Amino acid sequence: MLRFDRLPVAGALAAHVESCWFMRGASAAALPEGHRILPDGCMEFVFQLGAPFLELGVEERWHEQPARLLVGQMTRRVEVRPGGEIDTVGLHFHPAGAAAFVAGSMKRFRDRITDLDTALGEDLAPLAGRLRRARSSGSRMALLMDWLQGRIGSADALVAQASRRLLDSAGQLDIPSLGPALGLGERQLRRRFEAAVGLAPKRFARLLRFQRVFEQQRESDAMAWAQVALECGYCDQAHFNRDFRAFSGLAPRQLLADADPLTAFFLSVSSKTARAT
């Protein structure tokens, strides 16, 4: 059986990191099919302490992921399947949070899942070993918080504020008004937003509207798709369908009908970020 857990982050690091999540249990034999991970507007650090997952590449071939991952801002679904026994720990950042721990622009990681050790310029094998020996979720989280505390750097407070305003509006805030409200020109906001978040403000807002669809469905299973589209800020259902397919590769009904445990878990983590204050 696959077991999931999620612990919210408290203290000073909570300004950058939303939660720490844990996944343990089932083997490749128990979960042989591919599982869709959908874009959610946040970056992650992932430690695969068991067998690494396999990822379906653009060439439609499965390849093994690195043991430790930096997951950049995604604008498309990623399909994965277990490579063996699962024991995975992840750090789920706020939209502008990862930039406090990774040097340079987050834009370079867009639509990329890359080796975390290489991205940080640090050998993380010793940390991974300590995480394996610390069996409880709480003790593993404590190790990761101590490690992050030693890496924390400067953050762009204005971009964090801009991303929070977009989150609070579920992506429906008027983008041209956002920069002036923060004392920034439109180009300056876009440049700084891409550097700290990894996406331009408009695309980030589109992702938030896409994520809002799943919250609406959880809140009211009986709501018609046309009403969902309006509630999430789409001008019509055709616009909604185009965005949904662009981010997920599937029609809304098909995706929700085929949702698997991994997809459902990561959607729940994403919704916590959208509701965090």
* Best CA proximity match to 80, nearest among 41, 43, 52: 52
Quick one: pLDDT band at residue 32, thresholds 50, 70, 90? low
Spatial separation of the C-alpha atoms in residues 100 and 105, rounded to whole Å: 11
For the chain, the structural domain boundaries read: 3-149
Which of 3.20.20.70, 3.65.10.10, 3.40.228.10, 2.60.120.10 is the CATH number of 3-149? 2.60.120.10
Strand ranges (DSSP E) for 9-153? 17-25, 35-37, 44-48, 54-56, 62-64, 68-71, 78-81, 86-93, 113-115
Quick one: pLDDT band at residue 231, thresholds 50, 70, 90? confident
pLDDT at 221: 62
pLDDT digits 0-9 by tens, 145-188: 999 999 999 999 999 999 999 999 999 999 999 999 999 999 99
* Best CA proximity match to 2, nearest among 29, 43, 30, 21: 30
Spatial separation of the C-alpha atoms in residues 145 and 13, rounded to whole Å: 8
* Tokens 């609406």, located at residue: 216
